[in-house]
Structure formats: C-alpha cells, structure tokens
Amino acid sequence: MKTRRDFIKTTLSAGLGICAVRLNRPGLSTATPGMVTNDISIAQWALVDEINEGQWTTLDFPRIAREDFDINGIEFVNTLFESPTYEYCQRLKTNAEDYGVTMVLIMVDSEGETCTPSAEERKQTVINHRKWIDVASLLGCHSIRTNCRGPADADPEEALKWAADTYHQMLEYAIPANVGICIENHGGFSNDADWMVALMKKVNNRYFGTYPDWRSPSEQFDNYNYLKKTLPWAMGMSYRNQPNEETSAKMIWLCQDSGYRGWYGIESAGRDGIREGKRILQKYLFDQ
C-alpha cells in the first residue's frame, strides 16, 4: 500500500502548503485526487469516545493510526481540533510526517447550512467554511467534507438552486487552494441519491464531489444503490462494516468495478470496529 500521495507541494504567500496535483474530473473511472491505487484511512469520529474522555488529542492522531493500527491515512473532524492555529497545524504536519501518515481530509460540521433559502445565511456558511479550507490546504488534505440537508418541507428544485449557489461560492475560495469540496449523506436532501446526482451535474466542477457514507442497510435507506448512483463523483469513502462480511464485500466490489481508486476511511466505531474494517478491506482490496 502506498504511504504517501504523489503531491508536489507549493507555498502560498501566507505560508500555506498546498497540493499541486489537479483534482480528477468525475466520470466512469473515479479516483481520490492524486491517487492511482487504493489505501485505508481512519475517520477520527470512529475514536471520538476516546478523545472525549481525554485519552489523546488530535495531535496524537498520526501516532495512533501508525502505532495502534498500522494504517496509512487519517481523516479529521473539525470540531475535534483543539486550537487550529498555524503553529498547531505545523506541529500536526510534523507528527504526520514522522509517522508516515497521510492527512486525507477534514470533516466539517457545525459551520452553517449549505442548503437554505436565505442568501445571507448561505454567504455566512461559505465564510465559515473558509478557515477549514485554509487548514486543509496547510495540512495537505485533498478535500473538506460538508453536509447538505436543507429544510424538510423545501421544494427539491428550489433546494438544488440554493445548494448550487452555496457550493459555487465555496469553490471560488477552494479552487485556488486546490482543495476539493465533497458532501456526505448525513440526512435531508443529501440522503436522496437522485437529488445528489442532480446537484453534482448542476455544479459540474472537478473540485466538487460526493463522500458516500456506507451506513447500514434499512427500510429507510438503500445504502448499496445510494453508493452505486453517487460513485461517479466519489472523492472518498466513509466505510462502515456492514451487518455481514458478504455485504461489505459486495460494496467494495461495486467500488472496484466502477473504477474508483482512493481512500476508504473506516468510520466503524471503536478499535475493534476499525480492526475489523481493516481486515475486510485488506482482504477484498489487496489480497484477492
């Protein structure tokens, strides 16, 4: 497995290191930016209980990934950064380099609604996300992950217009930093695969994509078909162990057959969930 992305680093006038490899345009063959093969990462949220209990901090995340799990990538949650100052981020970069860990993306929560009828609220949401684009750029993360829910009673076509406006504004800031923007299915309109496909086509930008949350199958959510429909725009995977290994394998094979190559970020809760996820991904991505 590759331990580092093949990125050429440049420097912004403010001293931020950014990735020079251009993001891939979605199509029949998709890939995480800069990736030509698959690799495994840990989503920080999988270990949120340990962090909340004070067992370790975000600065320790590279060490935890390497020493405890021997996993090559890490995916952050913005609300778990203690103090994302320039000096703090430089320390985090050093720690990641010391342990040979790639910082993949930042999951951004609690920074405003991206799908709202209020133009002023949309503008504020964009402003709120800019600091995380800056942090992602500094750390070398390829993207930030956003949420897109919208009002429950909104007309889907109107909601498309609102969301597209937000993301067009957000991309104006993200593209010069070479940071992608992706959406995870976290409720509301983002749970509707057809609506998400329509949004991808409406925005139509190689820096904009999906981040499918595998979740668990239920009567309310068909995770397999959601993944199938949104795969052409996937910029990463929020991998979760399915109720049985056969179902997990089926979803992995779906990604492989689609041409997706990139990170599988394990978000199954707890250390046992991460180890089981690594075992399954190792088996079906690399051992067959």
- Residue 156 φ then ψ, to 5°: -55, -40
Q: Tell me the whole-structure pTM to 2 decimals.
A: 0.88
Confidence of residue 9 (pLDDT cuts 50, 70, 90): very low
- Pairwise CA distance, residues 126 & 104, whole Å: 21
More confident residue, 174 or 32: 174
- What are the DSSP E strand ranges found in the chain? 9-11, 17-19, 39-43, 73-77, 102-107, 143-146, 180-183, 208-210, 237-239, 263-266
Domains of the chain: 9-286 (3.20.20.150)
List the one residue out of 160, 209, 201 whose CA is nearest residue 182. Answer: 209
Residue recorded with tokens 């690594």: 278
Tens of pLDDT, residues 95-144: 999 999 999 999 999 999 999 999 999 999 999 999 999 999 999 999 99
Determine how many CB atoms are found less than 10 A away from the CB of residue 85. Answer: 11
Tens of pLDDT, residues 65-103: 999 999 999 999 999 999 999 999 999 999 999 999 999
Contact yes or no for 230/193 (Cβ under 8 A): yes
What integer pLDDT is reported at residue 1 of this predicted model? Answer: 41
Poorest-confidence range of 30-44, 66-80, 99-113, 246-260?
A: 30-44
